[in-house]
Chain A
Amino acid sequence: MDGLKAVLNKLRDNEVYKQWFKNPLTYVMGAVLLSILQIATLAVTGNPWGVSGVFANWGAWIFEALGGSVDKWYYFSSAGAQNTLQQGFLNHTGSMRNLGIIVGALFATLMASQFKIKKIKNKKQIIAAIFGGLLMGYGARIGFGCNIGALYSGISSLSLSGWIFGLAMFFGAMVGSKLLVKFFM
Chain B
Amino acid sequence: MKEVVIDSLGEACPIPLVKAQNAMKEMEIGDVLIVQIDHSCAMKNLPEWARKEGHNVEIEEVDDAEWEVIIEKAK
Contacts and interface: CB of A to CB of B under 8 A. Distances in A.
B18 interface: yes
| Residue of A114, A125, A181, A185 ringed by the most chain B CB atoms within 10 A | A114
B18 A118 contact: no
A90 B15 CA distance: 39
Given A24-B40, A113-B64, A118 B15 contact: no
A121 B64 contact: no
B9 A114 contact: no
Contact of B65 (A24, A114, A180, A184): A114
B24 to A, nearest CB: 14
Contact of A180 (B9, B15, B64): B15
A47 B15 CA distance: 36
Interface size class of A (residues with CB under 8 A): 10 to 19
Given A114-B40, A115-B65, A116-B38, A121 B18 contact: no
Nearest to A119: B10
A180 B38 CA distance: 19
Interface residues of B, number: 15
A121 B10 contact: yes
B44 interface: yes
A120 interface: yes
Contacts of B65: 109, 114-116
A109 B39 CA distance: 12
24 contacts: A24-B40, A24-B44, A109-B65, A113-B64, A114-B40, A114-B64, A114-B65, A116-B38, A116-B64, A116-B65, A118-B9, A118-B10, A118-B38, A119-B10, A121-B9, A121-B10, A121-B11, A177-B14, A180-B15, A181-B18, A184-B15, A185-B15, A185-B18, A185-B19
Interface of A: 24, 109, 113-116, 118-121, 125, 177, 180-181, 184-185
Interface of B: 9-11, 14-15, 18-19, 22, 38-40, 44, 64-66
